[in-house]
């Protein structure tokens, strides 16, 4: 009896010790998190019934910071959370480039192909433009979205297109195919590109709009299919897609908002469904998983080896756009190569992301309204450094 009682006491002591140790670990973990650099200057004012952001930091394949602010939909009182899907706008361009990269590896497309091959009905000067020029923004094609002269003519042309008028009447966005054909018609009226292809670089949504089209022409399957095949399905990314169907509802999609007064917002709907230059809709967790894959792109055993172009100061200096390839801006920060892009969709969602592969660090923020405050790279690197120090303390 005494022996049993002694064992019970030992068991009880062990149990209490384990519980205490667990509580201590939780307390230390919470204290550690409180000691990390915060982002109050960037996101501290996102409170109440206002649109907001999802913010993530990765290190060595792990999502070490994940925070959600504001509402995905104000009318239905839906908060931004891990399921919320944001429109990435121009961040989508590197997904388009990644698909082309893999299609070229599989012999289904070639960067040296001329634009005229895919658009024989286009202007004769399409013979001077290669797919590589489109990918690097060196085509000389005017921007159908940001060039006022082109966008005005384009809208006038669309206003006379029965299919576009019908779509807008019933409340549907104008499809990618209609936009691509209308842009092609506008370019047919130009005698030459803005500059000799390959001699300069100027950011152009038009090039990536065509690339989204060319994937389909070259393979018989659309960009969404190949993005699923090469990127999303192999990496088990279920909450990310190339949104190319104007009639499809996305279950967890955030609503885009425009600020109309100090505390008032109006919801926006995209009037154009375009892919290639935009079109990727994603959750934070799925996008950070892709960022991890991207960070390891140049590993010897990676199928993405060669996708991340090495930084070249001389090439960057020769281009008014800086060094840009495969849908990414390539720069350096404290001798670390940084690959980045930002974006803004037609429904006013904004996004910003970057990765530093050598340091295995990455940052992303996606917002369902126009929020331009982005934490500095110094702050993100500091966050990771402090996080690792505190993790070491907690584990001791």
Per residue, the 3-state secondary structure of 95-151, as one string, reads HHHHHHHHHHHCCCCCCCCEHHHHCCCCCHHHHHCEHHHHHCCCCCCCCCCCCHHHH
What pLDDT sits at residue 33?
57
**According to the model, what pLDDT value does residue 162 have?**
65
pLDDT digits (tens, 9 = 90+) for 25-48: 444 444 555 678 889 999 999 998
Question: Distance from CA of residue 134 to its chain's centroid?
Answer: 19
Give me the chain's average pLDDT, please: 88
Higher local confidence (pLDDT), 236 or 160: 236
Does the structure show a pLDDT above 60 at 17? Answer: no
Query: What is the arithmetic mean of pLDDT over 310-334?
Result: 91
User: What number is the average pLDDT over the span 278-289?
Assistant: 97
Residue 8 is predicted with a pLDDT of: 42
- For the cut 50, the answer to whether the pLDDT of residue 1 exceeds it is no
Q: What is the pLDDT of residue 395?
A: 74
What is 46-395's CATH topology?
A: Beta-lactamase (3.40.710)
Q: What is the distance between the alpha carbons of residues 236 and 232, in angstroms, rounded to a whole number?
A: 6
Q: For the residues 360-383, what does the mean pLDDT come to?
A: 96
User: In Å, how far from its chain's centre is CA 182?
Assistant: 26
**Better-scored residue on pLDDT, 18 or 179:** 179
| CA-based torsion, 343, 150, 317, 104: positive or negative | positive
pLDDT for res 263: 78
Give tens-digit pLDDT for 299-313: 988 999 999 999 988
What mean pLDDT is predicted for residues 71-80? 96
Residue closest to 338 by CA, chosen among 352, 366, 322, 358: 358
Report the alpha-carbon distance of residue 305 to residue 293 in Å, rounded.
11
The residue that leads in pLDDT, 215 or 11, is: 215
Per-residue model confidence (pLDDT) at position 152: 79
Per the model's pLDDT, the better-predicted residue between 73 and 31 turns out to be: 73
- 326 near 306, Cβ under 8 Å? no
pLDDT at 208: 97
Q: What percent of the chain has pLDDT over 70?
A: 85
| Beta-strand relationship, 323-325 and 328-333 | antiparallel
Instruction: Give residue-wise pLDDT tens across range 134-145.
Output: 999 999 999 988
Residue range 196-221, pLDDT digits in tens = 999 999 999 999 999 999 999 999 99
pTM above 0.85, yes or no: yes
Asked whether the predicted pLDDT for residue 245 surpasses 80, the reply is: no
Tokens representing 123? 């202007």
| The pLDDT of residue 24 is above 80 | no
pLDDT given at position 169: 55
pLDDT at residue 111 in the model: 96
**What tokens does 303 get?**
């199928």
Give the confidence band of 317 by pLDDT, cuts at 50, 70, 90.
confident
264 or 8, which is more confident? 264
pLDDT at 19: 45
What is the predicted pLDDT for the residue at 108? 97
Greater model confidence, 189 or 150: 189
């Amino acid at each position: 009896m005494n022996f049993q009682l002694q064992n019970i006491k030992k068991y009880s002591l062990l149990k209490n010790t384990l519980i205490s140790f667990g509580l201590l670990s939780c307390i230390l973990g919470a204290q550690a998190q409180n000691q990390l650099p915060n982002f109050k200057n960037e996101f501290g004012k996102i409170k109440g019934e206002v649109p907001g952001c999802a913010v993530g930091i990765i290190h060595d394949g792990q999502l070490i910071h994940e925070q959600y602010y504001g509402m995905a939909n104000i009318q239905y009182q839906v908060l931004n959370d891990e399921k919320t899907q944001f429109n990435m706008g121009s961040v989508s361009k590197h997904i388009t480039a990644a698909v082309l990269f893999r299609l070229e590896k599989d012999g289904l497309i070639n960067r040296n192909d001329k634009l005229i091959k895919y658009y024989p009905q286009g202007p004769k000067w399409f013979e001077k433009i290669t797919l590589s020029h489109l990918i690097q923004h060196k085509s000389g094609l005017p921007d159908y979205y940001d060039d006022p002269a082109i966008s005005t003519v384009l809208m006038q042309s669309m206003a006379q297109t029965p299919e576009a008028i019908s779509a807008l009447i019933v409340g549907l966005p104008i499809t990618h195919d209609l936009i691509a054909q209308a842009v092609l018609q506008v370019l047919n009226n130009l005698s030459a590109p803005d500059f000799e292809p390959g001699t300069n670089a100027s950011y152009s949504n038009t090039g990536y709009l065509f690339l989204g089209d060319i994937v389909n022409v070259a393979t018989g399957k659309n960009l969404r299919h190949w993005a699923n095949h090469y990127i999303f399905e192999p990496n088990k990314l279920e909450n990310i897609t190339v949104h190319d169907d104007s009639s499809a509802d996305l279950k967890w999609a955030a609503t885009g908002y425009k600020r109309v007064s100090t505390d008032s917002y109006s919801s926006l709907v995209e009037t154009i469904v375009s892919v290639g230059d935009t079109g990727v809709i994603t959750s934070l967790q799925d996008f950070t998983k892709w960022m991890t894959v991207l960070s390891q792109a140049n590993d010897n055993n990676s199928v993405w080896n060669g996708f991340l172009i090495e930084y070249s100061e001389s090439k960057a200096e020769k281009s008014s756009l800086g060094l840009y390839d495969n849908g990414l801006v390539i720069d350096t920060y404290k001798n670390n190569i940084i690959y980045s892009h930002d974006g803004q969709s037609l429904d006013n969602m904004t996004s910003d992301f970057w990765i530093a592969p050598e340091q295995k660090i990455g940052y992303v923020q996606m917002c369902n309204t126009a929020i331009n405050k982005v934490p500095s790279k110094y702050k993100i690197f500091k966050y990771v450094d402090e996080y690792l120090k505190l993790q070491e303390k907690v584990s001791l």
